[in-house]
Homo-oligomer: A and B are copies of this chain.
Amino acid sequence: MTRRLAVIGGDAGGMSAAAQARRTDPSLEIVALEKSEWTSYSACGIPYVVSGVIDSIDELVARSPQEHRDRSRIDVRTRHEVEAIDVAAGRLDVRDHGHARTIQVPFDLLLLGMGARPIRPDVPGVDLPEVHGVQTLADAASLLRRAEASECRNVVVVGAGYIGLEMAEAFVIRGARVTVVERGAHVMRTLDMEMAAPIEAAMRRIGIDLRLGVDVTGFEPGTVHTSVGSLPADVIVLGLGVEPNADLAAAAGIELGVRGAVHVNRRQETSVAGVYAAGDCAESWHIVSQRPVHVALGTVANRQGRVAGTNLGGGYATFPGVVGTAITKVCSTEVARTGLTEHEATTAGFAFVSATIDSTTIAGYLPDAPAVTVKSLAERGSGRLLGAQIVGGQGAAKRIDVFATALHAGFTAQEVFDLDLSYAPPYSPLWDPITVSAKALLAVL
């Protein structure tokens, strides 16, 4: 008897699970239910559509519904929104928006890939059409319309995290006057404070009006109200991060975990046998802190989806976890982090030392060698690397992957120092900034 896998959500987590389940078990019947019209798209690319660097939203689609049908025999149904899960009966209630009807979809196996939604501040006016998330291709289309409109003069971005900063720059490129309002004392709260200063300087250099320590108190058409006065706003962008879309799971009695994400084991299985979760709606395991975390990143979603799909198809796979790697760019300033920040290391209970060094990304004697600052943390006693943060010019940020690999390996500062890293003048000083950083850690350990 053919078994049916139902997949809720047609983006990275859901569709990578579906495709992998298909590869693992060719006999499986697979139906994927997606409430929008799109599948498998790059939300991370939205700022580049808004800025005009990418010509069309279509370029963000890695695989269309039809491609999933053709290549993986997945019955993708778009504009189908799951409204309830009955895990005991093995049945979904699904709203078919195209035909304005509600249908029931039975399943033997279920994959939750509902993703995440932008965090919306609890203030008046937050549901106005001027207030945009940056999550779906519908968001992208709507933001693009606004960006291209000639009356788009003033843009207010609420929150100075990754997507907030990327969107701020995108609207600057479009010629808008951009204000970023951030409640905290510095931008990029996933970095330690002193690493944020050069990013703030870079933002101000391109004319972004950055307001730190300011609360948003409400929205009105054309205006954002804050704790220190009102700002004109033709477009308002939410950059406060995301929260898991796990309401359906909670309503079905499936256990939630950290930050309300669906709790999963290492095989991506939820508290209900046969029900798996992957991507932004699910927990991840943090290898350094040895705690569950909620990470909303396309890479993690795809990896978890592959693991879930293998298990759903009858194979065996586990998700090894994350080390907390992230990277972005603000104008020509590159920013990256991995592992734990000081705050995160403290929260996780580690005693640690830290060291911050300045270097260049290429040999210092070459003209215009870009500057780079590297901060790294190591555990007291053991000397084990706990995390690193990099801010600098061209060639700076991707170096974070070496630290990430060292975290996977559980390397000490000495082992990082000993790495046989590549050297040639156009690529690095004789001592790579990573090596210099490890040496500085050794000096304080």
Contact = CB atoms under 8 A, between A and B. Distances in A.
Given A54-B366, A427-B397, A299 B408 contact: no
Interface stretch (A123-131, A273-281, A324-332): A324-332
A302 B322 CA distance: 34
B59 A365 contact: yes
Interface string A339-370: 00000000000000000000000010111000
Interface residues of A, number: 62
A302 B302 CA distance: 42
A367 B363 CA distance: 28
Nearest to A48: B425
Given A336-B422, A367-B53, A408-B409, A398 B427 contact: yes
A303 B162 CA distance: 38
A398 B298 contact: no
B48 A366 contact: yes
Interface string A396-426: 0111111011101101000100111111111
Nearest to A300: B420
**Residue in A395, A424, A434 whose Cβ sees the most chain B Cβ within 10 Å:** A424
Contacts of A298: 423, 430
Given A365-B42, A423-B297, A425-B42, A409 B398 contact: no
Contact of A401 (B397, B399, B408, B425): B399
Nearest to A415: B408
Interface of A: 42, 44-45, 48, 53-54, 59-60, 62, 162, 287, 297-300, 302-303, 320-329, 336, 338, 363, 365-367, 395, 397-402, 404-406, 408-409, 411, 415, 418-428, 430-432, 434
Given A59-B365, A60-B365, A409-B411, 5 more contacts: A44-B430, A48-B365, A54-B367, A327-B422, A398-B427
8 contacts: A48-B425, A302-B431, A320-B418, A400-B422, A401-B421, A402-B405, A405-B419, A405-B421
